[in-house]
Amino acid sequence: MTSGVPQSLCERRPHVPADRLVQEMQPPPRFDAVRFDTYVPDPGQPSQAAAVAALGSFAAGLGGAHPSGSGRRRWFAKKPAAPAGPRGVYLDGGYGVGKTHLLASLWHATPADPSLKAFGTFVELTNLVGALGFQETVRTLSGHRLLCIDEFELDDPGDTVLVSSLLKKLAEAGVALAATSNTLPGKLGEGRFAAADFLREIQGLSAHFLPLRIDGEDYRHRGLPEAPAPYSDEVVTKTAYATDGASLDSFPGLLEHLARIHPSGYGALTEGLSMVCLTGVGPVPDQSTALRLVVLADRLYDREVPVLASGLPFDRLFSEEMLNGGYRKKYFRAISRLTALARDARELPGQ
């Protein structure tokens, strides 16, 4: 890349083949180095330390031969006997309590070759089914030791049934399961967690899952200020030109571009960037656009790409109607993550 000339996300049109979707089902770069001993439990929330201990025991129990009797189960092989104890764990807690950190730590701690462990978000898993087809996805994942699903989406009935059916097939093949989820509409902020909803929605699988409740506040905001004030267009543009590997786009233009790319390609869209610079950040116009922005925010956060922006602060992206609606958990997560990335940008040299 040429020094001093920012890239443009709007000029990128990534295509991600299906086999790459499978290969990339590993914890994202932000979570490459996380382990159980790098999770710092809040002393005021004993459920956090208890969850770490329970997950460590669960990982240790996944050693030994695959329940099918081989590294990868043959399609017509005899169904293995159900192992003793739960074959799944569900991390039950609000956003920002470290569920993804713990889920990735479980992936790393499970004694199996990385090719026999899969980690992805609910959206990435549904994208995989869309790319491979249901039966081929079952065949591809059946020989795995562990499947971790982050942010299991309980607010989309169709996809919930699809993934529930997939998990049932994988559980029958002896694959251990681990998941986190969002809350159903109307539950956020009411002091209720999602375990009962999750166990009801994964039809016929609830007996396989051990719920682990993780209480606490959003660690990204413990003792920290609200979303930092945006910069001017001039500062954002000047920084983009002065930073190797930065991108520069107008926020409205980026939102339009996201509509032309499948969300499965948003990770590839951000590859190789050292910083994302956005001018003219303003209110997101509609829910479809907002949900695409949520996925982009997740991919940027996973890859630890700082975001420098002008316009409105990120805690004013979504309307009151959106923040009070069925997808509000997603929007609060996006605000939390974009705010963290905005703080990262402020800590860079020259800011």
The token pair that represents 131 in the structure block: 């790319």
pLDDT at 79: 42
So what's the pLDDT on residue 2?
45
Residue 71: the pLDDT is 45
For residues 193 and 181, give the distance between their C-alpha atoms in angstroms, rounded to a whole number.
10
Per-position pLDDT tens, the chain of length 351: 345 689 999 999 998 787 788 888 999 888 999 999 999 999 999 999 999 999 999 999 987 555 554 444 443 344 444 444 568 999 988 767 889 999 999 999 999 899 899 999 888 898 889 888 999 999 999 999 999 999 887 766 778 888 889 999 999 999 999 998 765 434 434 444 566 777 777 767 777 788 888 888 766 555 544 678 899 999 999 999 999 999 999 999 999 999 999 888 898 999 999 999 999 999 999 999 999 999 999 999 989 999 999 999 999 999 999 998 878 878 888 998 899 999 999 877 666
| Residue 249 DSSP class | E
Rounded CA-CA distance 180/333 in Å is 14
User: Residue 3: what pLDDT?
Assistant: 53
Architecture, CATH, for domain 33-217? 3-Layer(aba) Sandwich (3.40)
Would you tell me how many other CB atoms lie within 10 Å of the CB of residue 229? 9
In this prediction the pTM is: 0.76
DSSP SS3 for 69: coil
Paired with 278 in beta bridges are 249, 309
Please compute, for residue 10, the number of CA atoms within 13 A of its CA located in the half-sphere on the CB side. Answer: 13
Confidence (pLDDT) at 221 = 55
- Residue 131 is which amino acid? A
Rounded CA gap, 11 and 256, in Å?
12
Domains of the chain, by residue range, sit at 9-14+221-346, 33-217
* CA 306/CA 339 separation, integer angstroms: 10
Q: How far apart are CA 209 and CA 178, in angstroms?
A: 8
